[in-house]
Amino acid sequence: MNKRVYKAAMVLTMSERRRPDCRNREAGFTLVELLVVLVILGLLFGLVVPRTIDYLGRAKSDVAKVQIQNLSQALDLYRLDNGRYPTQDEGLKALVVRPANAARWNGPYVKGNEVPQDPWGKSYFYEVPSKRGMAYDLYSLGSDGARGGNGENADVFNN
């Protein structure tokens, strides 16, 4: 065998023998490194989680606005067919089930067998006549279920 090849093979085997020892001494993380990573993760969670929760609250309010717009369109279709909006007693249920005094009812005006609930699992409020100078009031009381509030707790009204 060539002396150079033999020497290279010997050097390789010696370095292979040393590597596992070197790796064992350098393997793992120190306590300081772990603490630094934990602090960084804590800072990230402290900044990201509140913003995410705020975003989810706004998303539910946006869903409520869209549902109210869809229900308003359904109420307008009901009015076109019947010449009037549903009465307070008939309520939003008139969009799904024919009221007794709606001869030209051409519904259902919303998909499904029920009027959808707001994103917080509560029924939408329908008031005729409107207290705000409109034909009707259609609104959700937000996540807290009480009048007023802001943010996720804010009431969502038809325009």
Per the structure, how many domains does the chain have? 1
pLDDT per residue as tens digits for the range 42-92: 988 888 887 777 766 678 888 888 899 999 999 999 999 999 999 999 999
**Which among 92, 95, 99 has a CA at the least distance from the CA of 110?**
95
Q: Would residue 128 count as lying in a domain?
A: yes
The answer, yes or no, to whether residue 4 has pLDDT greater than 70, is no
Q: Would residue 130 count as lying in a domain?
A: yes
Q: Would residue 131 count as lying in a domain?
A: yes
The answer, yes or no, to whether residue 97 has pLDDT greater than 70, is yes
Q: Would residue 95 count as lying in a domain?
A: yes
Q: Which domain holds residue 112?
A: 57-157
Please report the pLDDT score of residue 80 as a whole number. 93
Please report the pLDDT score of residue 37 as a whole number. 93
Please report the pLDDT score of residue 38 as a whole number. 93
Got the DSSP string for the chain?
A: --HHHHHHHHHHHHHHHHHHHHHHHH-S--HHHHHHHHHHHHHHHHHHHHHHHHHHHHHHHHHHHHHHHHHHHHHHHHHHHHSSPPPTTTGGGGGTS--TT-TT-----SSSSSPPPPTTS-PPEEESS-SSSSS-EEEE-TTTTSSS-SGGGS-EE--
CATH, residue 72: 3.30.700.10
The answer, yes or no, to whether residue 24 has pLDDT greater than 60, is no
Please report the pLDDT score of residue 131 as a whole number. 83
Q: Would residue 4 count as lying in a domain?
A: no
Q: Would residue 66 count as lying in a domain?
A: yes
